[in-house]
Chain A
Amino acid sequence: MRYAMAVDTRKCVGCSDCVVACQTENHVPIGYCRDWVVEVTDGTYPQVELEFRSERCNHCANSPCVRCCPTGASHYEAGGIVTVTHHRCIGCGACIASCPYDARYSHPDGYVDKCTFCLHRVEKGLEPACVSACPTKCMYFGDLDDPKSPVSLVLRTRKHKTLIPEAGTDPQLYFLI
């Protein structure tokens, strides 16, 4: 089992519903977020290109955050989801420094927090909150080992990329282009 997510940049309008849906679902405090939207503009008027990307933890298969965590709080769950066990986290911030995607933040309660792919929902057979809320249906989630999962299907037919592949972390967040 290998969970992954794909975001269709051709459909994403950058509305940030994924951010609010995550914030309310996971009780992320106001002022913090586990996912965010990036807008990239390229070119000169009137030859302009625009890309929106809903970004979050890449749940890397080779995660520097897991490797550098001194307490083992950062770890892999089934399906490769990277999570932090809050009560084992000492808030040292080594993982934050090691993450090439800046996907982690220090929670005001003293631990490091990040996207969990909504593991608590996935375990119940639900999609992550961001995926289920997105009005453009631009996000696909599932098991890459299952060729019929939405994410497998879309990655098979669509051109895609990952972010900062040169970091060698084997990210599992894909962007359809």
Chain B
Amino acid sequence: MSTRRDFIRISAVGAGGTAIAWPLIQSMANAPAIADKAIYESMRRTPTYCEVCFWKCAGWIHKDDRGEVWKITGNQGDLHSNGRFCPRGTGGVGMYTDEDRLRTPLIRTEERGKQVFREATWEEALNYIADKLKKISADEGPECTALFSHGSGGKYFGTLLKAMGSPHIAAPSYAQCRGPREVAFQNTFGEGVESPERTDIRDTRCLVLIGSHIGENMHNGQVQEMSDAIDKGAVIITVDPRFSTAAGKSKYWLPIKPATDLALLLAWIHVIIEEGLYDRDYVEKYTYGLEQLKAHVSGMTPEWAYGITTIKPDIIRQTAHEMGHASPAVIVHPGRHVTWYGDDTQRLRAVAILNALLGSWGRRGGFYRPESMTVPEPPHPEYPVPKRTWRTEFPDLYPLADTVLANGVCDATIPDPSRGCNFKAWIVNGTNLIETLPNQENTIRAIQSLQLLVVIDTMPMEITGYADVVLPECTYIERYDEIRVSAHRKPQIALRMPAVKPKFDTKPAYWMARQLAKKMGLESFFPFEKIEDLLDWQLQQLGTSLAEMQRIGVKTFDRTADDLYFAPGEEVEFYTNTGKIELYATALEQAGFDPLPKYTPHEEPPAGYYRLNYGRAPMHTFSRTANNANLTDLMDENTVWVNPKVAAEWGLQNGQYVHLKNQDDKRSEFPIRVRITERIRWDSVYMVHGFGHDQKKMKRCYGKGASDTNLITKVLVDPLMGGTGMRGNFVTFVTEIEEVGS
């Protein structure tokens, strides 16, 4: 394979022969473009919303007597956090203090036959990008530029793309994460679950978690509400081959055989229909397709499911009864990262159907109706209408995807004679695609086909090593961003403002995007020179102001109507073909897919191999926090969880380092420690995602633990919406290891 782009470890900076990798002194000429310094300099605490994960809790950044960042706490009025941050949010300080941060713009160049980065001024870096983007737009069309974003700054790079005429704004949070559940719920209830999830956990009487590890995923509001539910005596049912933290809080733990969840769900549906445990009035009034569903599941008895799932029939019935008794205050949780086996939308359809039968959608203790404010966009010229989209290139694929697929853009970047246009430029904002997209080889092949790769980040993540230009963003502690709009029990907005001036020669996204727009003649799409003026203009329309929000941080509005839950007997029109909750999904049928979910067996690990399951740890958000000093203090490497029986077979010792090797002979780049534990089934292993980093410049996390993405070479794609199922990989142990870092 040609490697036009050599991976540059960011420390390899060409500095005209000198060995200084980083500027020691900040150039005053490049002082940050933050106006009104006095405002935050005079404040002992400034409002923010967290950027460590997508939950975006609103809180306060506190400064000490010297004006240094001291600690971060929650804002009492915030609906996402209720004034309590999770460890990552509290530890967000470490993102700001990290000495390994990107410090200055970098441009790829060649020195004596070797590719290196050279430090550049903002002017140089932005000119380089603007010239390239203009050329690519002229030669290939503006549609050939794509944005990948998983950070707040993405909003403004999105504006830039739309202004150029490209619709290609992709987020790995869809097809690599929650896409299937959105599509499944849209095709059942006519609406998605959205984020934060509209689950009314605090008032539920029965919470069913299927592989969803709340408590290890610290999605703050949900963790808090699960705790409230425990206090109130709610029944928790956890389905997981691993004894998760949530399993430890559960009345029932169903240690299911991996990849068989759909059979369990269908058996539950069977019991609930056959025993009449469903909400009859609700189902009759609001749903479509009960008879078809009843016929469909008639043979799917608990005894049938037992042979597939290894869950005993009486436990399946007992747990179904628990759900029936709690109805409608029951939540069969849709989960979040649900791209597992390629039939994920259908599995999530079964989850949606179960909720519909139990009458939990629109009911207290089930799913509430969120409401949000709309932040007005400033007046700007019409965006040009794109002539092509990625859809044009893949006309028959993934008909139910309702957003641009990150993996779709990636695939369409690799040149193929059958396609007219391939992507030529990527702008990557705050997402480490190398670790985010499965099948790294494919991602790197796509990158090698690009004419321009711009990476905007605060840290020298792996993706920066493939960039042509690296733009160092200041952290969320040092910048304004768009107003956070929450869809919640009440509409709420939150402000992020800088607590301190940006360290090093780093800049906020709004400034970068606007400067690029200016250089490309698209300035009119960014009518406000300063983001403060934009935010103030927007906030004024919402009946507040920047000055007020700087003081209070969050503002909660009243709902337009008292309709958090369906009123008794309320007539509800659902956004589906039939206007009803579709147990039988007519839109799926029209698109040529099963209108009712069917169980299909998935491949099982060959002898000596174990299914690779992965997940989160509460103190990390994947790559983003891997080098955060406060958080590596809590967990600095991941381990591979191994059942004691398996460990005995392999002669593994607790704490020993091994390599993992997958079914395609792909070996983990770094060794990983064995954790022998009764908390894992014998047919699978488990590791926390986000470790095994390959960038030496990230000193605390380099070579610590192993990367699961490294081992996910087999991707099971969901034909409905293009989700990339990642749980069909099997690994075995390689006990001979070389020295770490050699």
CB distance A135 to B220 under 8 Å? yes
Residue in contact with B86 in the complex, picked from A33, A52, A132, A135, CB distance below 8 Å: A135
Assess the A50–B245 pair: CB atoms within 8 A: yes
A24-B679 Cα distance, complex, nearest whole Å: 32
B682 — which chain A residues lie within 8 A by C-beta?
45
Mask, B627-657, CB within 8 Å of A = 1, is: 0011101100000000100000000000000
Complex Cα–Cα for A17 and B618 (A): 9
Give the contacting residue for B93; candidates A13, A24, A138; CB below 8 A.
A24
Contact between chains at A16 and B243 (CB < 8 Å): no
Asked whether A19 lies within 8 Å of B71 as measured between CB atoms, the reply is no
A136 touches B678 (CB 8 A): no
Whose C-beta in chain B lies nearest to the C-beta of A135? B84
- Asked if A89 is an interface residue, CB under 8 A from chain B, the answer is no
Contacts of B72 in A (CB 8 A): 24
Compute how far the CA of A21 lies from the CA of B630 in the bound complex, rounded to whole angstroms. 10
Which chain B residue shows the least CB distance to A48? B243
Contact count A vs B, C-beta below 8 Å: 119
A25 to B71, CA, bound (A): 6
B618 touches A13 (CB 8 A): yes
User: Is A50 a contact partner of B84 (Cβ separation < 8 A)?
Assistant: no
Q: By the criterion CB–CB under 8 Å, are B255 and A46 in contact?
A: yes
Is B227 a contact of A137 with CB atoms below 8 Å?
Answer: yes
**Candidates A45, A132, A133, A134; contact of B678 at CB < 8 Å:** A45
User: Are B245 and A14 neighbours in the complex by a CB distance under 8 Å?
Assistant: yes
- Report whether B230 and A11 are in contact in the complex, using a CB–CB cutoff of 8 Å: yes
Report chain A residues within 8 Å CB of B643.
45
Judge if B432 is at the interface, Cβ distance under 8 Å. no
Contacts of B630 in A (CB 8 A): 20, 23-24, 30
Query: Does residue A123 face the partner (Cβ distance < 8 Å to B)?
Result: no
Whether B619 contacts A50 by the Cβ 8 Å rule is no
Contact A15 B618 (CB under 8 A): yes
Contact partner, B227, options A11, A14, A52, Cβ 8 Å: A11
Taking the nearest CB of chain A, how far is it from the CB of B235, in angstroms? 14
Q: How far is the CA of A175 from the CA of B642 in the complex (A)?
A: 29
Name B84's closest neighbour in chain A (CB-CB).
Answer: A135
Return the chain A residue nearest B645 by Cβ.
A45
B243–A20 CB distance below 8 A = no
Q: Which of A35-54 contact B (CB under 8 A)?
A: 41, 43-46, 48-52
Interchain CB contact under 8 A, B87 and A20: yes
Bound: A12/B618 CA distance, A: 12
Cβ contact within 8 Å between A15 and B218: yes
B679 touches A41 (CB 8 A): yes
A61 to B679, CA, bound (A): 37
Of A33, A51, A137, which is in contact with the most chain B CB atoms at under 10 Å from its CB?
A: A137
- Could you tell me if A133 and B85 are in contact, using CB atoms closer than 8 angstroms? yes
Contact of B70 among A14, A15, A24 (CB under 8 A): A24
Is A148 positioned at the interface, with any CB of B under 8 Å from its CB? no
Q: B87 — which chain A residues lie within 8 A by C-beta?
A: 15-17, 19-20
| Interface check A108, CB cutoff 8 A | no
CB contacts (< 8 Å) of A165 on chain B: these are none
- With a cutoff of 8 Å between Cβ atoms, the chain B residues found around residue A11 in the complex are 227, 230-231, 249
Which residue of chain B is the closest to A36 with respect to CB atoms?
B634
A10 at the interface (CB under 8 A from B): yes
User: Is A125's CB within 8 Å of the partner chain B?
Assistant: no
> Smallest CB-CB separation from A44: which chain B residue?
B678
Q: How far is the CB of B70 from chain A (nearest CB, A)?
A: 7
Interface check B223, CB cutoff 8 A: yes
Residues of A contacting B86 in the complex (Cβ-Cβ under 8 angstroms): 15, 17, 135
Contact in complex: B85, A50 (CB < 8 Å) = no
* Given known contacts A15-B87, A45-B679, A46-B255, A20 and B634 CB-to-CB distance under 8 angstroms: yes
CA distance A132 to B643 in the complex (A): 37
Identify the closest chain A residue to B228 (Cβ).
Answer: A137
Interface flags, B553-596, vs A, CB<8A=1, else 0: 00000000000000000000000000000000000000000000
Asked if B248 lies at the interface with its beta carbon under 8 angstroms from chain A, I say yes
Which residue of chain B is the closest to A46 with respect to CB atoms?
B255
B218 touches A135 (CB 8 A): yes
A113 smallest CB distance to B (angstroms): 15
A17-B678 in contact (CB<8A): no
Given contacts A16-B87, A30-B633, are A41 and B677 in contact (CB under 8 A)?
Answer: yes
Q: A14-B245, A30-B633, A50-B245 are in contact. Are A45 and B224 (CB under 8 A)?
A: no
Contact: A16 with B220, CB < 8 Å?
no
Q: In the complex, A71 Cα to B4 Cα: how many Å?
A: 68
Known: A11-B231, A15-B86. A20 touches B249 (CB 8 A): no
For A136, what are the chain B residues with a Cβ–Cβ distance below 8 Å? 223-224, 226-227
Docked CA distance A17–B74 (Å):
12
CA distance A49 to B243 in the complex (A): 9
B500 nearest CB across to chain A (Å):
15
Q: A13-B618, A14-B618, A45-B643 are in contact. Are A135 and B631 (CB under 8 A)?
A: no
Within 8 Å CB of B253, what residues of A? 46, 48
What distance in Å separates the Cβ of A93 from its nearest Cβ neighbour in chain B? 22
Indicate whether A17 sits within 8 Å of B85 (C-beta atoms), given known contacts A45-B643, A135-B227: yes
Which chain A residues lie closer than 8 Å to B631 at the CB level?
20
| Given A20-B633, A25-B71, 15 other A-B residues pairs in contact with their CB atoms under 8 A | A13-B223, A13-B227, A13-B618, A15-B87, A17-B90, A19-B87, A24-B71, A41-B679, A46-B243, A50-B243, A50-B245, A133-B73, A134-B84, A136-B223, A136-B224
14 contacts between A and B (CB under 8 A): A11-B231, A15-B86, A15-B619, A17-B86, A19-B633, A24-B70, A24-B91, A24-B630, A31-B633, A45-B643, A46-B255, A48-B248, A132-B84, A138-B227
Interface positions of A (Cβ within 8 A of B)? 10-11, 13-17, 19-21, 23-25, 30-31, 33, 41, 43-46, 48-52, 132-138
